[in-house]
Every structure is written in structure tokens, then in C-alpha cells.
Amino acid sequence: MTQATSEITVTPARDYGNEVGQGWPVVVAPAPGELLSSWLHRLAMANGVPPQYFGRVLDVAGGDWSAKLDRNLPGPVLNFLVERTRLPAEDIDGLALSRDPLAGLRVRQIIGSGSARTSASSINRLQYCPACLKEDRAPFFRRGWSLATRVSCFLHGCRLRDHCPACGGGIAPARQNRLLPQHFCVWCDADLRKPTLPAEYDVQRLERLIDDLLRLHVAGHGRHGKISLPAMLGAACFTFNGEPTSISRLPHRVRYALFRQLADGMTHLQKRSVHPAIDLWTRTALAAPKHSDLVASLRAEITSQITPGSKTRSRLPDLADLQQVIGRLHSNRRTSLATAMPAN
């Protein structure tokens, strides 16, 4: 016996805010490192509103309303969210990429039109780690995944993905018109958490170096010159489909292949381009092996100073982590010396 099924759609009333009062019935706390759009999708779901319609609640037009808010969170929308969730404004604003020093390196979420499926080959949307989504109690998208210089997961060592493994459609949770979690494809309902292949060691090593350099830049210890490191790495120095293109506009498969070529020497790119950014990419790739050795040496030295004979953690610290530890060690050493000095 077969039972006919019909799709149920939900359209929120225009006065949704008045219906539930000043505060929404359910408040969802942002997860550590969560992207604003991801939190908004989960907030909408928790209050019984499919993400596709939640933009109307916030008075933000367009099918990709949440991608717009990731890049630019207007004051009125922020104030409205604070009023309805009673969460601190700085906590909500910190989820967005509005004042992001690495904005030029974020994957471009090109705004589409209509409701037709858009293939990942022609549009760059969110990228994600399927292993992370599978481990999440409530799946969410990380801010770190939005960096175009990330092609693998630092936690699981697997490749990231920017399309549905079943239908190839782009990742666009804001277009979900039903009450389904974010790990289901909006186009075909497939589970997005199908495992990806492991990332090659040389690719991960290059990623780590770039990530460390960018974190140093954000902390104020970057290279000094006319052009910043993010601006150089984000320059339109590559060619894709016959056009000059920046890394932020390349789909994941192309970026991963590029990192693999960089790790292997990339001599053909140097011959075809005289762009100064290509030289920076090449020199960075050549430095990656020595960088990983340096971080390993620092990690061993610092670990021995803090807890002699202890085993290292399963998650290896990066250069920025080690710098913080070194700073604390120096601070403690200065305090000890000051205490030991005799008074005049």
C-alpha cells in the first residue's frame, strides 16, 4: 500500500515578532567558531521557521540572505537579534565577517538567483568538513572553513567539500524551505556527511604554514611592506576559465589541485606568470617543509619545559599556539626574576 505524500511549506506571518513577543521562544547559543549564517539557520529551525523564510523575519531580502549577513551585518539587524535573543551584541557581531582582516581570502559565496539547483562548478558557496558535521551534536559551519586557503580539516586531516556528494549542487542552507538540519542537501535531501579522501601530507603542511602566517598577520606580527600578506595571497594571479582569478573565487577541487602543485614545485606556474603574488606563493611552498620542522622542534622544547617527560597532545599546536606559550614562559620568568631581586 502506498501513501501519497505532499510537500508541506511554512510561510511565517509578517508580524511574527509581535506574535512571540519581544523574545523568541527558543534561543540557540552560538557554537565556538561558528559562522553567523550557520547560527541563524539553527536559530530559525529551533523556532519552527525554515531558513528560506527567516530572512523575511529579519527584513533581509533574497534567497541567499544569510550569505549577505555574513559579509555585512547591518546595525538594525544586529539590534533586532539582540532584542529577540537577549544575547550580547558583541557575541553576535563576532560571528560575522564584517570587520574581517582576512576578508579578501574568504571563499566567495556568489549570490545566485531563482530556486534552480546551481552546480558547484559554476558557483562557490560554503565548504565544510563532513567528519566535523558528523561529530557535531547539532551540525554547524565554522568560520575557519570560509578561508580559501583552507582545503582540508586540521582536526581530521580529510579534504573539505563545497558541493553535495550526491547531486553536485552548491551548499546553500539559506534556501532550505523545510525544517531539516544543515547537513542535508537543499536540492536533493542527501546527507552531506559522506566522507572525503584524506588530504596529502605535503598539502596539509603548506596549509599549516599559510595559516600560521595569517594568524601572525592578524596578531600584528605580519610582513611589513606596501602590500599585506592577505592582499598578496588574495591577488588575481591565477587563471581559471581563461580569466585572471583570485584564490577566493576558485572551487575547492581547483584549489586543492593548486596546493598539490605548489607542494610539488609548481615550476610551470612560475614560467607562465610574472605576477609578484605567484613568487610569494612559490616561496611559501618551498618554506613549508622547514616550517613544519621548526614548529615540531619548538613544540618539543616548550613541552619539555612545561611538563618534562609528558606525552604530546593528540591535536598538535600550531605556531600561534606556541607563541602564546612562549609569551607566558617569558612573562613568568620576568616575574620570578623580579621577585628574586633584592630591594634597594
Which pLDDT value is given to residue 25?
93
Residue with cell 557575541: 91
> Is the pLDDT assigned to residue 262 strictly greater than 80?
yes
* pLDDT digit string, tens, across residues 60-82: 987 789 989 999 999 999 999 99
Residue with cell 537579534: 81
Please name which of 249, 226, 251 lies closest in space to residue 237, comparing C-alpha atoms: 249
User: Which grid coordinates belong to 287?
Assistant: 618554506
Please report which confidence band the pLDDT of residue 7 belongs to, taking 50, 70 and 90 as the band edges.
low
Which pLDDT value is given to residue 91?
96
Q: Report long-range pairs for 79-88 (Cβ below 8 Å, ≥24 apart).
A: 83/22, 83/23, 84/17, 84/22, 84/23, 84/24, 85/23, 85/24, 85/27, 85/43, 86/23, 86/27, 87/27, 87/29, 87/30
Which pLDDT value is given to residue 343?
45
User: Which grid coordinates belong to 286?
Assistant: 618551498
> Is the pLDDT assigned to residue 13 strictly greater than 70?
no
Please report which confidence band the pLDDT of residue 189 belongs to, taking 50, 70 and 90 as the band edges.
very high
Distance CA 104, CA 148 (A): 9
Which pLDDT value is given to residue 11?
54
Please report which confidence band the pLDDT of residue 242 belongs to, taking 50, 70 and 90 as the band edges.
confident
> Is the pLDDT assigned to residue 120 strictly greater than 90?
no
Which pLDDT value is given to residue 227?
84
Higher pLDDT, 280 or 296: 280
Which pLDDT value is given to residue 85?
95
Which pLDDT value is given to residue 339?
46
Please name which of 74, 70, 43, 167 lies closest in space to residue 53, comparing C-alpha atoms: 43
> Is the pLDDT assigned to residue 149 strictly greater than 80?
yes
User: Which grid coordinates belong to 136?
Assistant: 557535531
Which pLDDT value is given to residue 312?
45
Residue with cell 613568487: 279
Please report which confidence band the pLDDT of residue 191 belongs to, taking 50, 70 and 90 as the band edges.
very high
Average pLDDT, the chain: 81
Compute φ and ψ for 322, nearest 5 degrees.
-65, -35
DSSP-derived letter for residue 311 is P
> Is the pLDDT assigned to residue 234 strictly greater than 80?
yes
Distance CA 225, CA 209 (A): 20
User: Which grid coordinates belong to 8?
Assistant: 508541506
* pLDDT digit string, tens, across residues 176-185: 999 999 999 9
Please report which confidence band the pLDDT of residue 338 belongs to, taking 50, 70 and 90 as the band edges.
very low
Amino acid at 65: W
Q: Which of 74-78, 198-202, 231-235, 326-330 has the lowest mean pLDDT?
A: 326-330
Which pLDDT value is given to residue 94?
94
Mean pLDDT score, 3-10:
50
Higher pLDDT, 331 or 234: 234
Give yes or no for a contact between 183 and 193, defined as CB atoms under 8 angstroms apart.
Answer: yes
Give yes or no for a contact between 104 and 248, defined as CB atoms under 8 angstroms apart.
Answer: yes
Mean pLDDT score, 152-175:
94
Higher pLDDT, 24 or 299: 24
Domain ranges of the chain: 16-175, 201-310
Higher pLDDT, 318 or 240: 240
> Is the pLDDT assigned to residue 337 strictly greater than 50?
no
Mean pLDDT score, 6-23:
56
Mean pLDDT score, 198-218:
93
| Burial class of residue 67, CB neighbours in 10 A (0-12, 13-18, 19+) | buried
Q: What percent of the chain has pLDDT over 90?
A: 53
Which pLDDT value is given to residue 265?
81
